[in-house]
């Protein structure tokens, strides 16, 4: 009991007490260094797959697991390693996902037989739109693009692209495409 205030003083819970054996359960928001300090490390294991995958192994992969299994931490760990490699361009991890309402609305526009194809097309368009903004707006990348190439991009694909002064995320472009139309056509 705090004698001056006449009430109990509650000490803050140390962060280590909030973490389980595999670290902070909220890997998407916790400071990466805090998460990695509690990360189960298999660096000395004879295997280099699954849980023993080194952070700098940037080969393509699919991460699958239930909620809280550590997928986001693995992705953040790989992304941080890619950012440290100066021969790679690594954007920040984006979290501006389309709303559930937007996704449901798109799903109602198409028959089940073509829905997967339509989602693949939407994602492909969003990725290309985002890629172009990174290529033309990121100083490091834009320094490698000549004006003739820029003209070809805008002349051939301008009506499909989004002009921007800054790099845009894939999710933001998906949102723009979805919200920019009110029917399947």
Q: What are the extents of the domains in the chain?
A: 15-84, 100-179
Higher-confidence residue of 180 and 134: namely 134
Q: What is the pLDDT of residue 119?
A: 93
Please classify residue 53 by burial: count the beta carbons closer than 10 Å to its beta carbon, then call 0-12 exposed, 13-18 middle and 19+ buried.
middle
Q: What is the pLDDT of residue 10?
A: 55
Question: Which residues does 85 contact at the CB level (< 8 Å), separation at least 6?
Answer: 56, 58
123-179 pLDDT per residue, tens: 999 999 999 999 999 998 999 999 999 999 999 988 888 889 999 999 999 999 988
Listed residue (57, 39, 38) closest to 47, CA to CA: 57
Q: How many CA atoms lie within 13 A of 165 on its CB side?
A: 0
Q: What is the pLDDT of residue 135?
A: 93
Higher-confidence residue of 83 and 59: namely 83
pLDDT at 16 over 50: no
Q: What is the torsional sign of CA 74, 89, 62, 132?
A: positive
Please give the Cα distance from 13 to 16 (Å, whole number): 8
């Amino acid at each position: 009991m705090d004698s001056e205030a006449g009430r109990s003083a509650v000490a803050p819970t140390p962060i280590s007490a909030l973490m389980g054996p595999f670290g902070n359960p909220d890997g998407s928001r916790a400071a990466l260094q805090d998460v990695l300090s509690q990360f189960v490390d298999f660096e000395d294991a004879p295997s280099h797959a699954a849980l023993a995958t080194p952070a700098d192994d940037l080969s393509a992969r699919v991460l699958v697991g239930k909620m809280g299994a550590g997928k986001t931490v693995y992705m953040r760990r790989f992304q941080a390693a890619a950012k440290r490699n100066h021969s790679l361009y690594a954007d920040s991890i984006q979290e501006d996902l389309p709303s559930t309402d937007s996704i449901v609305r798109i799903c109602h526009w198409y028959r089940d037989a073509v829905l997967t194809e339509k989602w693949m097309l939407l994602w492909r368009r969003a990725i290309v739109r985002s890629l172009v903004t990174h290529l033309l707006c990121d100083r490091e990348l834009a320094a490698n693009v000549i004006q003739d190439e820029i003209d070809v991009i805008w002349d051939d694909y301008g009506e499909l692209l989004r002009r921007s002064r800054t790099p845009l995320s894939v999710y933001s472009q998906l949102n723009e495409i979805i919200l920019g139309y009110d029917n399947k056509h």
